[in-house]
Structure 1
Amino acid sequence: MKNYNLDSRFEDFAASVVILFKTQPNSFAADYLAKQLIRSACSSALNFGEFEGAGSDKDRANKLRISLKELRESLRNLNIQINAGLIDINAVTSVKNENDELIIIVVTLIKKYN
């Protein structure tokens, strides 16, 4: 089995969302959704870090579930912004793809700890 540095993937995902919104969005809705997306993307990375330091399998599974919840929120947020025309789908394709892949990884890890 190939060893992947998942910490870096989560951190890079969160950083890519932060970079996506380097400039202030120009409407109330865009600003609201951008800030919430930054929070959920960063929270998924932070909770994944907590998973790695958890003391029990139950605690690991709980941190993974929180991370998964935040990843799903991030994906929903991206879809809303795309559908509302607040961001261009071409600008976020790689972010959405990474979000999808991280969801798959976390679901697989949760199954391991349940």
Structure 2
Amino acid sequence: MNTIELKNRTKHFGLRIINLVNHLPNTQVANVLGNQLLRSGTSVGANYRSACRAKSSKDFINKLKTVEEESDECLFWLELLEEANILKPIQLAELKKEANELTAIFVSSINSAKRNLND
């Protein structure tokens, strides 16, 4: 997957998170979890774009680590929404799958960048 495709994929992920949060029930718990999910979900794409403009390989790796953390954090908030019975598993399955895939992509990218740095 090239940089442009991944930029688009992370932006689309953020838009899907926005849509999900907009449809959460208006309860105190859903609002708190939704706000956390909204922050981490939209920051995946923003931080990936920042990583693409890194000034060095080390800077790139550090910025990608932030992207990895944010995508994994999204999964945590999605799991809480499910396990707190705020949303049904079927409503979250695709977003959880995407959060897992994005996290795996960024872990792999970090590992590749580290290997290339050490070569």
Normalised-by-shorter TM-score class: over 0.9
Q: Which residue of 1 aligns with 2:32?
A: 32
Give the Cα–Cα distance (whole angstroms) in 2 for the partners of residues 41 and 112 of structure 1: 24
Please tell me whether the aligned partners of residues 25 and 34 of structure 1 are also in contact (alpha carbons under 8 angstroms). Answer: no
Question: Structure 2 regions of 5+ residues with no counterpart?
Answer: 115-119
Shift of 1:80: 0.9
Deviations 1:7-57 (A, max 9, x none): 011001111010112245321011000011010011111110001111100
Give the Cα–Cα distance (whole angstroms) in 2 for the partners of residues 77 and 50 of structure 1: 23
Question: Larger helix proportion, structure 1 or 2?
Answer: 2
TM-score (norm. length: structure 2):
0.89
Deviations 1:62-94 (A, max 9, x none): 110001111111101110110000111111111
Please state whether the residue corresponding to 1:17 is helix, strand or coil: helix
Q: Which residue of 1 aligns with 2:43?
A: 43
Matches within 5 A, 1:1-114: 3=2, 5-23=5-23, 25-114=25-114
Question: Structure 1 regions of 5+ residues with no counterpart?
Answer: none
Q: Flag the 1:3–1:23 CA change in 2: closer, same or farther, 3 A.
A: closer
Please state whether the residue corresponding to 2:55 is helix, strand or coil: coil
Give the Cα–Cα distance (whole angstroms) in 2 for the partners of residues 66 and 3 of structure 1: 19
Q: Which portions of structure 1, spanning 4 or more consecutive aligned residues, are displaced by more than 3 angstroms?
A: none
| Matched pairs, number | 113
Please tell me whether the aligned partners of residues 33 and 77 of structure 1 are also in contact (alpha carbons under 8 angstroms). Answer: yes
Q: Flag the 1:45–1:76 CA change in 2: closer, same or farther, 3 A.
A: same
Partner AA of 2:35 in structure 1: K
- Per mean C-alpha deviation after superposition, the further-off stretch among 18-27 and 5-14 is 18-27
